[in-house]
A and B are shown apart, each in its own frame.
Chain A
Amino acid sequence: MNQRGSTIAEKILSNHAGKQARAGDIVIAQLDFMIGQDGTSGVAIDSFRKMNATKVADPNKIAIIIDHSSPSPNEGVSAIHKKIRDFCVEQGIKLYDIGCGVCHQLTPEQGHVVPGDLVIGADSHTCTYGAINVFSTGIGSTDLAAGMISGQLWFKVPETMKIVYQGELPKGVYSKDMILKLIGDIGADGATYLALEISGEAINNLSVDARFTISNMAIECGAKVGLMAADAKALEWVKQHSTKAPHPVTPDKDAVYLKTVEIDLTKLEPQIAKPHTVDNVVPVSQIGEVPVQQGFIGTCTNGRLEDFQIAAKILKGKKVKEGVRLILAPASKDILLDLINDGTYQTLLEAGAVAVTPGCGPCVGTHNGVPSNGENVISTANRNFKGRMGNVNSFIYLGSPATVAASVIEGKIADPRKYL
């Protein structure tokens, strides 16, 4: 057998399959944790019943989060929420009900996952926890049902694409711009079926919250997971949030990568993803005149404490332009409380923002700010697909929280650097 070294993905999957796993192998692996949300768990519960299951393998390894349409906007959603609540009570599963926050904030924040873990979620952005060295990936509802019943899932061990960010991040440019740049460069299917291993001095300098933004969007270039090594900063973050013992995994020096992509950050500008694909990325200097009627700060990508603090720094003492709406949705209740305690919320509300329940907010188009025909939205979310926010005749632009803040002041997509 080839004695070459292993990537992070190969090591975590090997550890959970109980045998040496190489890229291309099919393995059945033990899961450390799994999640579902209100858009996917109803179908998972249906599949669970159809499989004639009566009990989950281990209720302590499962959480279901009601975040996508929360609180319920209509009776159809209410029926699904009730089905989820009843299932959680029946099975003794941890339920995060309306207002607790977004699944991808709560899962690491509430200490459910730690470095070295193998995690699945019936939500495509489950790749978020790669930022703390967790092999976490999105799967469908029936795979979640199989995982809940058996505690296992089958995986094809992915090949790995190495992403190295070179140089220092300029002022006014953030981790959101780093990941948008990558997706713009390699395309929406640039890393399909692959694991990303993301490194570089600039990654080390980012806060853990900012790193989540990058791993969160790994799926937007098709990747299975966006892994980072766990440095002292990540381990300290995990220690503050979890009582579980971490098992950090580093790649071997002679690990084999399918490809290495290097991105130079020294001249990076704020990046904008234009409608209707996430890889339709341009630097802000090339965006031209794009009026906006709505701004949105929130989601599993950019709904964390520092995201709102950055926006508040720009909006302090200023006003959201008349005719423009700014919607805020913190990624969790803990973040909301921090925002209230440190005055950030007051600053943003005084500037003219409106706040909705911690959760996915208007990102998925079911409620909380569906744009009107012909309107442009500048959003910190991870997707700008046509109709994503509930109206096929609107246009979604993606950027950093700073870019959204600058844009709602001017009523058009704006460069945040002049405000910093």
Chain B
Amino acid sequence: MILNGKARTLPQADDINTDYIISGRYKFKIQDPHELATHVMEDLDPKFFSRLEKGDFLVAGSNFGCGSSREQAPMAIKYANIGAVLAKSFARIFYRNCFNLGLLAIECDTDGISEGDKLEVDLDQGLIRNITKGAEIKIAPLPKTMQTLLADGGLVEHFKKHHGFGI
């Protein structure tokens, strides 16, 4: 699988928590994921959603998605049409929630990636090509369980396909 898009960064690289991804002000009252998506990262960068194009990559530092278990966090990212989240490391519940929703989360060294860089994510080769900077970044291999969930399109489809866990 090869994905293409531009890098979108945030004012802060590390410890982006799920409250920042989607505020409690919204997650408790909005049920429509498309509407939720319009508020993604609003508390960190009010213009974040408006500068997104379909397939863009959200690029961050370490411990991305720390904090609450809210599935609305990866949901808001997915419905904002973000192609994948690239970070140095992820918090556990968030990482699991991404794959449960069929959203790709990739662990890699994101230090050399800047806002607007054109990226090509090549999962088969296990690398990211930074077209803008002419650099290649190695991707940590996806755990097998996560590959299965992703291939099935998330946990809902996985559960329907296997009539339970097929892990």
Contacts and interface: CB of A to CB of B under 8 A. Distances in A.
Contacts of B75: 43
A43 B36 CA distance: 13
Contacts of B25: 365-366, 387, 390
B159 A390 contact: no
A258 interface: no
Contacts of A124: 67-69, 93
Given A74-B29, A189-B89, A385-B20, A140 B63 contact: no
B93 A39 contact: no
Interface of B: 15, 17, 19-20, 23-25, 27-31, 43-44, 62-63, 66-72, 74-75, 89, 91-93, 96-97, 100-101, 143-145, 154-156, 159-160, 164-165, 167
A68 interface: yes
A76 B30 contact: yes
A237 to B, nearest CB: 26
Contact of A142 (B30, B67, B100, B144): B100
Contacts of A193: 92
Interface of A: 26, 28, 38-40, 42-43, 46-47, 50-52, 68-69, 74-77, 79-80, 121-124, 126, 138-143, 145-146, 149-150, 152-154, 156, 188-189, 192-193, 222, 224, 277, 364-366, 383, 385-388, 390, 392
Contact of B167 (A26, A39, A51, A277): A26
A115 B104 CA distance: 36
Nearest to A122: B69
B155 A146 contact: yes
B63 to A, nearest CB: 4
Contact of B165 (A47, A126, A150, A188): A150
B165 A28 contact: yes
Nearest to B44: A386
A77 B30 CA distance: 8
Nearest to B46: A392
Contacts of B27: 39
A68 B28 contact: yes
Contacts of B43: 386-387, 392
Nearest to B19: A385
A42 B33 CA distance: 12
Nearest to A39: B28
Contacts of A52: 160
A77 B29 contact: yes
Contacts of A139: 69, 93, 96
14 contacts: A26-B167, A39-B24, A39-B68, A51-B156, A68-B24, A140-B93, A140-B100, A143-B155, A154-B167, A189-B15, A192-B63, A366-B25, A383-B19, A387-B20
Given A140-B93, A189-B66, A366 B165 contact: no
A364 B22 CA distance: 12
Given A39-B24, A52-B160, A79-B31, A383 B100 contact: no
Contacts of B154: 142
A189 B97 contact: no
B40 to A, nearest CB: 14
